[in-house]
């Protein structure tokens, strides 16, 4: 591989790492940070997260169209979105809420999500234009590994910083802003890439393609299990396992396993086909989470093994599904920016439903954060964290089996 090509893939991996730092960990750290700092109820937080996702439902397809229409501005919209996201992260973790904590949480997170969504749409669409249909699995090895390493970094940084500062999340926000600046700078030349003409100059409407519509449904169903388990992860470790000090290390184990496994899944997809490999990983995920349902106090070592295995299956989800989607876009000539706007939208449907249903549901059945719980409350937590994702994954498998597309190899 030439030095220039290596630099290109590294810049994609680094930018993906930055997006990883702003994505899933926010769902893990931010809710508990505000619960612990301001005493917000889980129900109020769940409603706020759902309202934020309603905003995403409206804005993601619109951001996709905005991304398409501002391509001629090259990197300028990227810098604007990066600043918005950085300011949101700063407000979330580095400032005392100047008014209602729930409202401040909502406004700050809205800024993070808006900047994040625009950057993700442009980033993934750029990969379609840059590498075409045949290069998506190779790009996915770099991109998704970088993304997951970013998630690992975001998961571990507050834990490491807590030993050297009284404001670990504030320092995390400052460091994040620096990483955002460097990531956009490294990709500067890529934002000037417009790509070769797509196979169809007429650029078909995204939602007119039945296969793309089915892929979007699959994205909703397959994101749901990880959305549910991620929302409840810290609560499960703290209250079910009674090991709050292990939450950080276990998060790192989970996401590191995903990062290490992502290239492996793409190599397997090259050999056996992405659909077959993805199906295997989804079945494995069900087996793993069934084991988590039966855990009890003190079984941290067993849960660490589960984190490794479930993290590995997450690596398949994150590496293969976007590659399958991007490959189909490149082959059909669909509008990549608009399509990834809908892809973001579809993924966030699951995150919204998880926020609005799971937190209030476990609270309704007796679970309370930070206090001693009854057996029924702990059972509700275990069901929400482990059993419910299995049921949702079965629905995703059903949808995948019904999907007909040209399999991604190479």
Q: Which two tokens stand for residue 131?
A: 């590498």
Which H or E run includes 318?
Answer: helix 300-332
Over residues 143-161, the pLDDT tens digits come to 888 888 888 788 778 777 8
Would you say residue 180 has pLDDT above 60? Answer: yes
What is the Cα 194 distance to its own chain's centre?
Answer: 26
CA atoms within 13 A on the CB side of 12: 24
Over residues 329-377, the pLDDT tens digits come to 877 777 778 888 888 888 777 777 776 788 888 888 888 877 788 888 8
Over residues 21-74, the pLDDT tens digits come to 887 556 667 777 777 777 777 777 778 877 777 787 778 888 888 888 888 887
Query: Angle at Cα 326 formed by Cα 323 and Cα 327, nearest 5°?
Result: 80
Contacts for 114 with CB less than 8 Å, ≥ 6 apart: 55, 59, 63, 81, 84, 85, 88
Which of 122, 123, 94 has the alpha carbon at shortest distance from 108? 94
Which of 326, 311, 140 has the alpha carbon at shortest distance from 226? 311
Res 129: pLDDT: 78
Helix (H, G, I), strand (E, B) or coil at 365: coil
Q: What is the pTM of this model?
A: 0.77
- Beta-carbon neighbour count of residue 46 at 10 Å? 22
285 pLDDT band, cuts 50/70/90, is very high
Distance CA 336, CA 211 (A): 15
Distance CA 7, CA 142 (A): 11
Q: Are 397 and 287 in contact (CB under 8 A)?
A: no
Third-level CATH fold of 3-401: Growth Hormone; Chain: A; (1.20.1250)
Mean pLDDT of the chain: 83
Task: Return the sign of the alpha-carbon dihedral for residues 235, 238, 244, 250.
Answer: negative
Query: Angle at Cα 21 formed by Cα 180 and Cα 27, nearest 5°?
Result: 135
187 — phi, psi (to 5°)? -90, 5
Q: Measured between alpha carbons, how far apart are the two ends of the chain, in Å?
A: 16
Own/partner pairs, 96-99, CB within 8 angstroms, 24+ separation? 97/38
Which of 295, 289, 299, 296 has the alpha carbon at shortest distance from 387? 289
Domain residues of the chain, as ranges? 3-401
Query: Angle at Cα 208 formed by Cα 205 and Cα 127, nearest 5°?
Result: 55
What is the Cα 40 distance to its own chain's centre?
Answer: 24
Over residues 298-339, the pLDDT tens digits come to 899 999 999 999 999 999 998 898 888 888 887 777 777 888
Distance CA 236, CA 383 (A): 10
Crossing angle (nearest 10°) for helices 136-161 and 300-332: 140
Which of 253, 272, 251 has the alpha carbon at shortest distance from 261? 253
Q: What is the dihedral angle through the alpha carbons of 38, 384, 52, 120, rounded to the nearest 10 degrees?
A: 120
């Amino acid at each position: 591989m030439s030095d220039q090509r290596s630099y290109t893939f590294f810049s994609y991996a680094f930018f993906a790492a930055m997006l990883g730092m702003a994505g899933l960990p926010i769902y893990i750290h931010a809710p508990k940070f505000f619960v612990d700092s301001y005493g917000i109820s889980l129900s109020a937080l769940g409603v706020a997260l759902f309202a934020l996702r309603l905003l995403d439902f409206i804005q993601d397809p619109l951001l996709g169209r905005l991304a398409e229409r501002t391509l001629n501005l090259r990197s300028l919209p990227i810098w604007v979105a990066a600043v918005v996201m950085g300011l949101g992260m700063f407000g979330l973790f580095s400032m005392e809420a100047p008014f209602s904590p729930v409202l401040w949480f909502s406004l700050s997170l809205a800024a993070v999500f808006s900047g994040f969504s625009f950057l993700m749409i442009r980033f993934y669409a750029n990969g379609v234009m840059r590498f075409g249909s045949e290069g998506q699995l190779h790009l996915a090895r770099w991109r998704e590994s970088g993304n997951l390493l970013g998630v690992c970094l975001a998961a571990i940084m507050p834990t490491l910083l807590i030993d050297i500062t009284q404001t670990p999340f504030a320092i995390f926000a400052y460091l994040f802003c620096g990483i955002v600046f460097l990531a956009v700078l490294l990709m500067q030349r890529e934002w000037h890439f417009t790509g070769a003409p797509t196979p169809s100059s007429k650029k078909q409407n995204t939602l007119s393609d039945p296969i793309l519509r089915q892929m979007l449904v699959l994205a909703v169903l397959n994101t749901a299990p990880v959305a549910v388990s991620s929302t409840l992860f810290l609560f499960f470790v703290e209250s079910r396992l009674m090991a709050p000090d292990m939450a950080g290390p276990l998060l790192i184990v989970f996401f590191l396993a995903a990062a290490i496994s992502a290239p492996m899944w793409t190599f397997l997809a090259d050999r056996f086909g992405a659909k077959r490999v993805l199906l295997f990983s989804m079945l494995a995920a069900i087996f793993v989470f069934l084991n988590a349902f039966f855990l009890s106090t003190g079984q941290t070592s067993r849960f660490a093994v589960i984190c490794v295995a479930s993290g590995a299956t997450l690596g398949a989800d994150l590496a293969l599904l976007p590659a399958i989607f991007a490959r189909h876009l490149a082959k059909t000539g669909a509008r990549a920016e608009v399509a990834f706007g809908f892809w973001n939208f579809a993924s966030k449907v699951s995150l919204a439903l998880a926020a609005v249903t799971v937190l209030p549901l476990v609270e309704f059945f007796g679970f309370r954060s930070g206090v001693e719980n009854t057996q029924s409350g702990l059972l509700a937590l275990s069901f929400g964290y482990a059993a419910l994702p299995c049921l949702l994954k079965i629905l995703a498998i059903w949808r995948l089996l019904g999907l007909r597309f040209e399999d991604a190899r190479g």
